[in-house]
Chains A and B, each alone.
Chain A
Amino acid sequence: MELLSPAGSLPALKAAVDEGADAIYMGLKNDTNARHFAGLNFTDKTMTQGVNYAQDKNCRVHVAVNTFAHPDRSHAWFDAVKKTHDMGADVLIASNIAVLEYAATHYPELELHLSVQAAATNVAAINFFKQFGVSRVVLPRVLSYQQVANLAQDTDIELEVFAFGSLCIMAEGRCYLSSYMTGESPNTVGACSPAKFVRWEETDKGLESRLNDVLIDRFAEDENAGYPTLCKGRFNVEGDISHALEEPTSLNTLSLLPQLNNIGISALKIEGRQRSPAYTRQVTRTWRSAIDAMKKNPTEFQVQQEWNKCLSALSEGSQTTLGAYERTWQ
């Protein structure tokens, strides 16, 4: 079972490699990937440096070209595929069928993984994407552990699951809440709740966070004020003010590690290309220790307090959850 760490920048990539990630994933500095944030991602120069650094230490490089090609400049997505190939990356991660088809016909030797943004949740959908030569599917964070286990039994394709990080509660690639409120969405610009729409304001009623002028949350003095991702705001449902969709919390599957290993999951993905190199370093180190401990002695595996402590400190609202893996969350 492979550990796949996020590399939002060259320093983050180096941190992940140094801490023992089996592979890292990155994106180009444009809207061809779903973490198109200011100051993040790779230029031609840093990508070359990153690929070399990782591969010198036997760490594989995955490149995400996982947004949806725009009709008038599809070449930007096709160029990103070409660059992934020409730079010697090991894997292309894609979701859009135009991009998958282009990769399959132009670079059939390039290993192809289906991005979570394609939201393939069932065997029939996986079979559809197999025609492009996809060898691994990254599963959306909507399946329960049992459903993942069933899928692992019913398909011969490699499965990758999210192990840790910010929790997207909607089927990825099929959520337009962000563009409804801001005009920009993960699918169209590669960002959810983009930072340029965020505004913070101290008011008499407390600290307010707004997205494109819409009040997302209001915090009392003793509360942790998180980024106003719009599905994690406090809203009013017929008089009841609550996190109507989801609390600010992160996914943490440490306790599921032996089970994920047993059902043959190929890779564990750590979310967070938008986070700091320090985040990547600490999360990679923790998961490396956990996976190694589990491999050494799967039956006796126990989650160490210090691992959870470290991960909680790096989580949204310092809270973690098993998310959809656990039926009660759903």
Chain B
Amino acid sequence: MEFSMGNLQFYWEKDTVLDFYQKVADSNVEHVYLGESVCSKRRELRLDDWLEIGRELSKKGKSVVLSSLALLEAKSELATLKKVCLNGELKVEANDFGAVELLTEAKVPFVAGAALNIYNQHDLKVLLDRGMQRWVVPVELSRDWLVKIMAGCEELGIREKIETEVYGYGYLPLAYSARCFTARSEDRPKDQCGLCCIKYPDGRKIDSQEGLELFRMNGIQTMSGSIQNLINDLPSMAGLVDIVRMSPHSLEVFDWLDKFQQALDDNQRIPLQGYCNGYWHKIEGMKAI
């Protein structure tokens, strides 16, 4: 089992991002996802910057993938998506079927992102035929569901061709909207958002009136209120999952990467508090077992 560093879901300043990837380069993570998947207005780094970071990481032996935007609305976003898909250097994570179309046309192999909604083996077969090399399981699916998909892949004779990645650590991307919730929370219209997301490097909390952490707003994206942490579930991923994704919201992710890698070796259970893992166990995503 290997680990990946997911692309940044939050909006950070350029220097912070560059420092972050220096640490990624020095870490033991095998796979790295780069780029903007949430909001096209977030331009602290441009495509060329991401490609440059990608080159440096590749030199360090990392397998690098460029993530694409999940929700495309404006024509300009489609133009950017084309540049991302045809970047000529890095593999691409398709987070919208528009990206799948462009990548298939260009015969570029791709990773099918979690936002593509792959729920069964037949979906995987369709995408394999179009150049998919790896897929990321939709965040709401359980181990049980994954077992059934893999059994289905076995029946279709495609089990061996499927590389599977699961969100192991981090806030979960739960929804995308036309509305920018962060701008709205500051009473700003979306078109004059002032790029205010940059003030909230790990999002803005949405709690119930009784103080329960429900969600986290991150621009047009709504994320889980709790961090999902599947460290104690790693043994149950054996034979099912090839890559475990660490989704960063702070530098804590590096400590957890170490702990996850350690846990693979020593099989020790880590006491956890305040994290969730319900989805993996086929219950409410926000719950913990």
**Which of B179, B214, B279 makes the CB contact (< 8 A) with A235?**
B214
Q: Name the interface size band of chain B.
A: 35 or more
Chain A stretch 227-242: residues in CB contact (< 8 A) with chain B: 231, 233-238, 240-241
Contacts A70-B119, A122-B96, A143-B73 given; does A170 touch B206 at CB 8 Å: no
Q: Is the C-beta of B249 less than 8 angstroms from some C-beta in chain A?
A: no
User: Contact between A169 and B117 (Cβ–Cβ < 8 Å)?
Assistant: no
Pick the interface stretch among A80-88, A212-220, A283-291: A212-220
B134-161 interface bits toward A, Cβ cutoff 8 Å, 1 = contact, 0 = none: 0000111000010011011000000000
Q: Is the C-beta of A157 less than 8 angstroms from some C-beta in chain B?
A: no
User: Contact between A181 and B214 (Cβ–Cβ < 8 Å)?
Assistant: yes
User: Contact between A236 and B207 (Cβ–Cβ < 8 Å)?
Assistant: yes
Q: Is the C-beta of B278 less than 8 angstroms from some C-beta in chain A?
A: yes
Q: Is the C-beta of A118 less than 8 angstroms from some C-beta in chain B?
A: yes
**Which of A101, A187, A214 makes the CB contact (< 8 A) with B140?**
A187
Bound Cα distance A154, B75 (Å) = 10
User: Contact between A237 and B185 (Cβ–Cβ < 8 Å)?
Assistant: yes
User: Contact between B140 and A176 (Cβ–Cβ < 8 Å)?
Assistant: yes
User: Contact between B284 and A212 (Cβ–Cβ < 8 Å)?
Assistant: yes
User: Contact between A180 and B140 (Cβ–Cβ < 8 Å)?
Assistant: yes
Q: Is the C-beta of B211 less than 8 angstroms from some C-beta in chain A?
A: yes
**Which of A98, A122, A183, A187 makes the CB contact (< 8 A) with B284?**
A183
Q: Name the CB-closest residue of B to A147.
A: B73
User: Contact between B282 and A101 (Cβ–Cβ < 8 Å)?
Assistant: no
Pick the interface stretch among A25-33, A123-131, A254-262, A303-311: A123-131
User: Contact between B283 and A175 (Cβ–Cβ < 8 Å)?
Assistant: no
- Min Cβ gap B151→A in Å is 7
Pick the interface stretch among B53-61, B97-105, B236-244: B97-105
- Min Cβ gap A216→B in Å is 8
- Chain B interface helix/strand/loop/mixed: mixed
User: Contact between A183 and B283 (Cβ–Cβ < 8 Å)?
Assistant: yes
A155-189 interface bits toward B, Cβ cutoff 8 Å, 1 = contact, 0 = none: 00000000000000111011111011111010110
User: Contact between A187 and B119 (Cβ–Cβ < 8 Å)?
Assistant: yes
Q: Name the CB-closest residue of A to B141.
A: A188
Q: Name the interface size band of chain A.
A: 35 or more
Q: Is the C-beta of A55 less than 8 angstroms from some C-beta in chain B?
A: no
User: Contact between A122 and B140 (Cβ–Cβ < 8 Å)?
Assistant: no
Contacts A72-B148, A235-B207, A236-B208 given; does A175 touch B284 at CB 8 Å: no
Q: Is the C-beta of B166 less than 8 angstroms from some C-beta in chain A?
A: no
User: Contact between B101 and A185 (Cβ–Cβ < 8 Å)?
Assistant: no
Collect the chain A residues with CB atoms within 8 Å of residue B196's CB: none
User: Contact between B140 and A121 (Cβ–Cβ < 8 Å)?
Assistant: no
- Chain A interface helix/strand/loop/mixed: mixed
Contacts A171-B175, A180-B172, A180-B224 given; does A122 touch B151 at CB 8 Å: no
Collect the chain A residues with CB atoms within 8 Å of residue B210's CB: 215
Report B's interface with A, CB cutoff 8 A: 70-75, 77-78, 81, 96-102, 104, 115, 117, 119-123, 126-127, 138-140, 145, 148-149, 151-152, 172, 174-181, 185, 189-191, 204-212, 214-215, 217, 222, 224, 278-279, 282-286
- 27 A-B pairs with CB atoms under 8 Å apart are A70-B148, A71-B151, A96-B119, A98-B119, A122-B72, A122-B98, A123-B98, A124-B101, A124-B102, A174-B115, A174-B176, A175-B176, A176-B140, A181-B214, A183-B282, A187-B119, A214-B212, A215-B208, A215-B210, A231-B175, A235-B206, A237-B185, A238-B205, A240-B185, A244-B206, A246-B179, A323-B178
Question: Besides the contacts A128-B98, A235-B209, what 20 more A-B pairs have beta carbons closer than 8 Å?
Answer: A69-B122, A97-B123, A122-B96, A125-B97, A125-B98, A141-B178, A142-B178, A170-B176, A171-B175, A174-B70, A175-B175, A176-B174, A177-B174, A181-B284, A183-B282, A236-B206, A236-B207, A238-B204, A246-B179, A324-B179
Sorted from nearest, which 7 A-B pairs have the closest CB atoms? A124-B98, A98-B122, A68-B119, A142-B178, A128-B101, A180-B285, A324-B178
